Amino acid sequence: MTKSDPGGSAREPENRDPKDKQLDGFRVDRNSGYLTTQQGVRVDHDDDSLTAGTRGPTLLEDFHAREKITHFDHERIPERVVHARGAGAYGFFEPYDDSLAQVTAARFLTTPGLRTPVFVRFSTVAGSRGSADTVRDVRGFATKFYTDQGNYDLVGNNFPVFFIQDGIKFPDFVHAVKPEPDNEIPQAQSAHDTFWDFVSLQPETLHTVMWLMSDRALPRSYRMMQGFGVHTFRFVDAHGIGTFVKFHWTPKLGTHSLVWDECQKIAGKDPDFNRRDLWDAIEAGQYPEWELGVQLVAESDEFAFDFDLLDATKIIPEEQVPVQPVGRMVLDRNPDNFFAETEQVAFHTANLVPGIDFTNDPLLQARNFSYLDTQLIRLGGPNFSQLPVNRPVTEVHTHQHDGYSQPTIQRGKASYHKNSLGSGCPALADEEVFTHYAKHVDGHVVRARSDSFTDHYSQPRLFWRSMSDVEAEHIVAAFGFELGKVTDVDIRERVVAQLDLVDHRLASRVAAQLGLDIPPESPVVDIAPPSPALSQLNTAMDSILSRRVAVLAADGVDVTGVERLVEALSERGAIVEVLAPKGGGVLTGGSGGEIAVDRAITTMASVLYDAVVVPCGPDSIATLRDDGYALHFLAEAYKHAKPIAAFGAGLDLLPAAGLHCPVAEGPDILAHAGVVTSTAAEASLSDEFFDVFADIMARHRAWERDVDAVVA
């Protein structure tokens, strides 16, 4: 066996960080050497077991076969009880400046130019390891910072709030959302009785349920979603002074979503849609980037809000406490091995470094127990921190020893503190140590929720009233879908009654979807101003980087037009693929030339693309208008409000697909409801056509389009 070159790494040698270099010590190249047993004995035959005669029984002494099968039998480890399905990547974090030095001693946040290696794992929550990516769910966003003061884990989600306030409810909540225990149905879905039963009886869930019913639960890409630490944490400065902090990750590409119909179809067409997207983007060098922001609250302002900072079902509206940008994170390297790295990575909310500490948030307190506990069963014992992906880049010296699969050989006799036989080592440090924040604690032992946690309706209302019309419409449709799958009518009614306490119009619209009586209007006590930061439509919409564009074509296509399109959109970072009735080979151009086919239309689907183009070419269009897959492709993209461009004879495919939208009647460009058209083709098509299309693509969807009657 030989060690590989810095394997799987997209980084140039000079850009390799300490974590990447550390992993070299564990990387083993599969593509070299001779086949051996685990004991290093060479093997010359791997197809047949050792038998008594060619047709006789297999012998127990076949240690090679037994070892091979035994190892195989033990390949699986328990999947994570939640967040089982995920995708991970390495990268780095760097602070912009030292502005946080006033509030935290954490060096990785305050040293300008210091690049801290990170590993990030994104995940869905409810589904098992083999479930589809594009389900309606929260997404995990867990970051391990390998800092030069030890590992810090920020184990967050893509929603800023959580379903419950106290960790003791976590097993109840998870049991309710997971498949029902009698028949293990449904997989990776909240649309079933037990989940909504729980929601209807536990109104603290409502705020997060609003997020779950919104487009936030359907991210277009892990690269296009926000992340949040959720809890209020505590920064601690060099003098031991605390400041409350909430963490926000903001994607450079903006926050964008799929539509629900699309999600359900992608779950069949490409269940790995989000995982593949992350992998492909990193392989292509289109490294995803997020900005880290913080909301800071002085300890003296702990009670300045009309909610409790310790309540994880609440946000601090950004309009009240602005998010301060402090640094950026870039993911630039895929793991070498999914199991070794993405599966075995072990996050823990209690992995802290000097300068960051907890608050009394009862959800966080429970998590601080749960994450260590869960790794013990999942990773088989107490030595999981020594797995390559989990090792800090700092030196580790403890008196902990033994345990299952101890990989290190600790030398010396003294595995206790204090000792004289080991020269007193490892020694206690007196600088750069973690010092727990000296918080004052005083109170009676009670099992009770604080009164300051009891308002479950104001913030779901704030969220609902901050939505644009189209986002609100999606929320109503999502409630209609989910509750429509609930078989117990009492549960449906109870949820609608709870929604009425959030907002009467919301409850009425959901009731109408379900054919329930409109509930009586509940008195609303507070009407807070909306928070524009909550609407995804206010997100960044200036880039088409890594958007996927399908060009529908057949023999006779306008090769010049397609080449110009590919060049114009690729320059802006989009990925353009030519799809034809048959995959492989080339298409011949109507006016000469040829162009390679990237995919067959039948192996793909419009839901796997962000935009569609129908180029000119009378013969090409004549073929496509008889091709039901091509027509469905176009109609479906239209239905999902995706940008569409057609030029020259390409315009004729729109009505053939049942789309009777306004189109250009001459070479002048017409852009109407996300459809860009011109009768010009080949070299006479103006460059502006591509610019207009790219601008529309940057807006992601044309929500103004009327799609109700479109059959797709």
Q: Does 604 engage in binding with ligand HDD (CB under 6 A)?
A: no
Q: Does 622 engage in binding with ligand HDD (CB under 6 A)?
A: no
Structure token pair of residue 443: 């109170």
Annotated active-site residue 15? The verdict is no
User: What is the C-alpha to C-alpha distance for residues 134 and 127, in angstroms, rounded to an integer?
Assistant: 11
Q: Does 366 engage in binding with ligand HDD (CB under 6 A)?
A: yes
For ligand HDD, which stretch binds (CB under 6 A), given 63-71, 162-170, 176-184, 702-710? Answer: 162-170
User: What is the C-alpha to C-alpha distance for residues 684 and 686, in angstroms, rounded to an integer?
Assistant: 6
Helix, strand, or coil (residue 638)? helix
Q: Does 232 engage in binding with ligand HDD (CB under 6 A)?
A: no
Q: Least distance from C-beta 460 to ligand HDD, angstroms? A: 17
Of 134 and 349, CB closest to ligand HDD: 349
For ligand HDD, which stretch binds (CB under 6 A), given 46-54, 303-311, 366-374, 552-560? Answer: 366-374
- One-letter amino acid identity for 517? D
Helix, strand, or coil (residue 209)? helix
User: What is the C-alpha to C-alpha distance for residues 702 and 712, in angstroms, rounded to an integer?
Assistant: 17
User: What is the C-alpha to C-alpha distance for residues 488 and 483, in angstroms, rounded to an integer?
Assistant: 9
Q: Does 142 engage in binding with ligand HDD (CB under 6 A)?
A: yes
How wide is the angle at C-alpha 37 spanned by C-alphas 33 and 38, nearest 5°? 100
User: Among 603, 606, 628, which Cα is nearest to 548's?
Assistant: 606
Q: How far apart are the first and last CA of the chain?
A: 54
Q: Does 650 engage in binding with ligand HDD (CB under 6 A)?
A: no
What number of chain residues touch ligand HDD (CB under 6 A)?
26
Contact 123, 83 (CB under 8 A): yes
Query: Per DSSP, which regions of 110-205 are E strands?
Result: 116-124, 139-147, 150-157
Give the residue, chosen from 212, 266, 312, 550, that forms a contact with ligand HDD under the rule CB under 6 A: 312
Contact 108, 147 (CB under 8 A): yes
Q: Does 639 engage in binding with ligand HDD (CB under 6 A)?
A: no
Give the residue, chosen from 80, 178, 314, 564, that forms a contact with ligand HDD under the rule CB under 6 A: 80
Could you give the angle at which helices 489-502 and 458-465 cross, rounded to 10 degrees? Answer: 80
Provide the mask over 368-407, with x wherever binding to ligand HDD is found by CB under 6 A and - wherever it is not. --xx--x---------------------------------
Q: Does 227 engage in binding with ligand HDD (CB under 6 A)?
A: no
Residue 694 to residues 323, 675, 702, Cα–Cα distance (Å): 30, 12, 13
Q: Does 90 engage in binding with ligand HDD (CB under 6 A)?
A: no
Q: Does 519 engage in binding with ligand HDD (CB under 6 A)?
A: no
Q: Does 459 engage in binding with ligand HDD (CB under 6 A)?
A: no
Q: Least distance from C-beta 220 to ligand HDD, angstroms? A: 19
Q: Least distance from C-beta 361 to ligand HDD, angstroms? A: 8
Of 233 and 273, CB closest to ligand HDD: 233
Q: Least distance from C-beta 352 to ligand HDD, angstroms? A: 16
Q: Does 362 engage in binding with ligand HDD (CB under 6 A)?
A: no
User: What is the C-alpha to C-alpha distance for residues 539 and 55, in angstroms, rounded to an integer?
Assistant: 69
From the candidates 45, 71, 74, 157, which is the catalytic residue? 157
Sites for ligand HDD among residues 102-131 (CB under 6 A): 121, 123
Phi, psi of 521 (to 5 degrees): -70, 130
One-character DSSP codes across 551-573 = EE--TTB-HHHHHHHHHHHHHTT
Of 366 and 568, CB closest to ligand HDD: 366
Of 199 and 230, CB closest to ligand HDD: 230
User: What is the C-alpha to C-alpha distance for residues 615 and 555, in angstroms, rounded to an integer?
Assistant: 12
Helix, strand, or coil (residue 586)? strand
Give the residue, chosen from 347, 358, 638, 690, that forms a contact with ligand HDD under the rule CB under 6 A: 347
Q: Least distance from C-beta 290 to ligand HDD, angstroms? A: 15
Where would I find the H helices in 251-393? 260-269, 273-283, 362-378
Q: Least distance from C-beta 561 to ligand HDD, angstroms? A: 45
Give the residue, chosen from 110, 157, 221, 390, that forms a contact with ligand HDD under the rule CB under 6 A: 157
Give the residue, chosen from 86, 95, 219, 362, that forms a contact with ligand HDD under the rule CB under 6 A: 86
Give the residue, chosen from 10, 28, 50, 81, that forms a contact with ligand HDD under the rule CB under 6 A: 81
Q: Does 254 engage in binding with ligand HDD (CB under 6 A)?
A: no
User: What is the C-alpha to C-alpha distance for residues 319 and 590, in angstroms, rounded to an integer?
Assistant: 57
Of 121 and 700, CB closest to ligand HDD: 121
Q: Does 188 engage in binding with ligand HDD (CB under 6 A)?
A: no
Structure token pair of residue 297: 């609250």
Give the residue, chosen from 323, 363, 486, 607, that forms a contact with ligand HDD under the rule CB under 6 A: 363
Tell me the residue nearest to ligand HDD as measured from the CB: 140
Annotated active-site residue 256? The verdict is no
Give the residue, chosen from 155, 209, 506, 680, that forms a contact with ligand HDD under the rule CB under 6 A: 155
Q: Least distance from C-beta 453 to ligand HDD, angstroms? A: 15
User: What is the C-alpha to C-alpha distance for residues 90 and 19, in angstroms, rounded to an integer?
Assistant: 9
From the candidates 64, 83, 248, 456, which is the catalytic residue? 83
Of 230 and 253, CB closest to ligand HDD: 230
Q: Least distance from C-beta 669 to ligand HDD, angstroms? A: 45
Query: What order of strands is seen across the sheet that includes strand 675-678?
Result: 599-600, 575-580, 548-552, 611-614, 644-647, 675-678, 670-672
For ligand HDD, which stretch binds (CB under 6 A), given 367-375, 428-436, 504-512, 665-673? Answer: 367-375
Contact 347, 370 (CB under 8 A): no
Q: Least distance from C-beta 638 to ligand HDD, angstroms? A: 36
| CB contact set of 680 (below 8 Å; sequence gap of 6+) | 647, 648, 667, 686, 689
Residue 598 to residues 123, 549, 581, 584, 618, Cα–Cα distance (Å): 30, 12, 11, 6, 21
Which 3-state string (H, E, C) describes 229-270? CCCCEEEECCCCCEEEEEEEEEECCCCCECCHHHHHHHHHHC
Q: Does 367 engage in binding with ligand HDD (CB under 6 A)?
A: yes
Give the residue, chosen from 91, 127, 150, 156, that forms a contact with ligand HDD under the rule CB under 6 A: 156
User: Among 631, 584, 590, 586, which Cα is nearest to 603's?
Assistant: 584
For ligand HDD, which stretch binds (CB under 6 A), given 60-68, 82-90, 551-559, 636-644? Answer: 82-90
Q: Least distance from C-beta 449 to ligand HDD, angstroms? A: 15
Of 172 and 668, CB closest to ligand HDD: 172
Give the residue, chosen from 19, 83, 465, 639, that forms a contact with ligand HDD under the rule CB under 6 A: 83
Residue 449 to residues 164, 231, 271, 309, Cα–Cα distance (Å): 12, 17, 41, 14
Q: How far is CA 683 from the centre of its chain?
A: 42
Residues serving a catalytic function are: 83, 157
* Footprint of ligand HDD (CB under 6 A): 80-83, 86, 121, 123, 140, 142, 155-157, 162, 167, 170, 230-231, 312, 345, 347, 363, 366-367, 370-371, 374
